[in-house]
Amino acid sequence: MKSVRNLSKTKEKKGRRVHSALAQPKFRKVLGDIRVGTLRIGTRKLSVPGFMAALNGPEDLNALLMREIPRQELHGVVVSQHYADKIRLAWDEHDKEAIAQEGVKWRDFKKDRVILYDPIPELFYLAKPNLRKRMSEMSGAPKHFFSQMANVATSNHVSLWNEVLQNADYLALLTWQMNLQNYSSVVTPLTPFIDGTPSSVTANLEANKQSSTILRDILGVSNAFYFGINYGAFKTSAVTDTIFSGLYSHFQTNPKPDAIIVRIRNLPDPRKEDKAEKLEYFAGFLQSMGTIGSEFDIPLFLFNGGSYGLAAIEYGFCSFSERLNGNLHDPVDPPDPDEESPLIPKPKQYSTVYHPEQKINLVWEEYLELARTKPYPAVEFSSAPDPNDISPRSFRLCAKHYRIAARTAEIRKIIDGVEAGNPRGLAEEFQRGSKARNVEKILKNPI
């Protein structure tokens, strides 16, 4: 799993940047900060930008594979680490079962795509003892680390992490993660969650630096820097300033990771306008990370970004992921139910449906009202759920597959717009019918 990523050097020819015939493909910055081109991450070659489906349970896997989406913009999948064992079992079982004629087997899907894991650092910040216990019982889990973190809370998480980073516990944790993520293109380390306090940012940067050295030099694998950040931290620019200065200084004299991965906890609903100051500071964070990625040729990924991922791409991110139920809140919750439950209100059993023109998620009742009055937007390689389908599970499967196809189609439009030389293509796409007001506010090229 050693890195083979080699972003090429370019040379000047007739006033434009071109690639050396002997070099590996490299990003070509065409307009603004949008990166269009190719990169290697792990052993995979990706066309950027792209989209990744977040798998939070076996049902998500079934939705992904129910019908082929032959787009290079579908980069692969992001697996929630605390469900890694369930997902791995689902992978194995899926290839053993007979599938519909239009479907695709997992072993065929994964050949040219990336698998990344989300370590979900909130599990070691919030009161989630049951999920931590579940992780501690997974094969090979470092017992001393989980014992230390048994009573972690928002008030003491940084101090507990600082103890971990001062002894051999972190090496044991990363070794376990490397084995747990053995299908991954790069190993994504568990790092302290950034709650907005200066001490949490300092601890996170230290953990990323240590993990990079351990994974690269001791364990010999490709590695990523990982930043899990609370959206509430963007009340000021302090978090952004500290992360930017820390990374810029570090990368000038130290080896770079194979990727930088960011996930923002509790992004606001795109259609419910949030405080302008937070959105402005969040946009500044995306811009600063885009600068780091561009300056040091490091691929950037935004996990669980939803429609905010489209804005992130405009700031230089290479790919973003989204939970297939559209939920932007804590990804530590249990996966969607695989069958009807009296404990879950029936409307919620149907999950949400993405609207590719409005750029928002519609709850079941909203979808029924719209889909029964006029045709729902057509998306290549998929179909919107049948509004007359009374089965929550089959409705969810169709909605999840439709979301993946719609997102990859959006990425294709972005690429086409860049290649056509339209600097405001993405903003114009939002202007045509978007209700995602928060995302519009942070687009780099607004109308």
Using one digit for the tens of pLDDT, what is the confidence trace for 197-212?
999 999 999 999 999 9
| Per-residue pLDDT at 24 | 30
Does pLDDT of 431 surpass 90? no
Strands of 113-170, DSSP E: 114-118
Average predicted confidence (pLDDT) for the chain: 86
* β-strand partners of 262: 227, 302
Q: 216-246, pLDDT tens digit by residue?
A: 999 999 999 999 999 999 999 999 999 999 9
Residues of the chain with CATH 3.20.20: 25-323
pLDDT class for 325, splitting at 50, 70, 90? very high
| Per-residue pLDDT at 335 | 55
| Per-residue pLDDT at 114 | 94
Question: What is the average pLDDT across 176-187?
Answer: 92
**Over the range 247-256, which residues count as b (16 or more CB within 10 Å of their CB) and which as e?**
beebbeeeeb
pLDDT class for 39, splitting at 50, 70, 90? confident
Q: Which of 270, 388, 412, 273 is nearest to 327 (CA)?
A: 270
Percent residues over pLDDT 70 in the chain = 87
| Per-residue pLDDT at 390 | 84
Higher pLDDT: 154 or 351? It is 154
Does pLDDT of 285 surpass 90? yes
| Per-residue pLDDT at 104 | 87
- Count the neighbouring beta carbons within 10 Å of the beta carbon of residue 424: 17
8 Å CB contact between 224 and 260:
yes
| Per-residue pLDDT at 397 | 94
Question: What is the average pLDDT across 56-82?
Answer: 93
Cα dist from 265 to 130, 278, 305, whole Å: 20, 14, 9
Q: 384-404, pLDDT tens digit by residue?
A: 999 998 888 899 999 999 999
8 Å CB contact between 189 and 211:
yes
Angle, CA of 94, 379 and 437, to the nearest 5°:
110
Burial of 86 (0-12, 13-18, 19+ CB in 10 A): middle
Containing 7, the helix (H) or strand (E) segment is none
Strands of 360-409, DSSP E: 360-363
Give the separation between CA 205 and CA 434, rounded to whole angstroms: 37
The type of residue at 275 is: K
Higher pLDDT: 19 or 380? It is 380
| Per-residue pLDDT at 389 | 85
| pTM exceeds cut of 0.75 | yes
Q: 333-350, pLDDT tens digit by residue?
A: 655 554 455 566 777 788
CATH 3.20.20 fits domain 25-323: yes
Residues 6+ apart with CB under 8 A from 336: 56, 57, 59, 60, 325, 351, 396
Higher pLDDT: 35 or 69? It is 69
Cα dist from 356 to 305, 362, 416, whole Å: 15, 11, 17
Least confident of 9-13, 50-54, 76-80, 85-89: 9-13
Question: What is the average pLDDT across 422-441?
Answer: 88
Higher pLDDT: 419 or 445? It is 419
Mapped onto helix, strand or coil, the DSSP state of residue 265 is strand
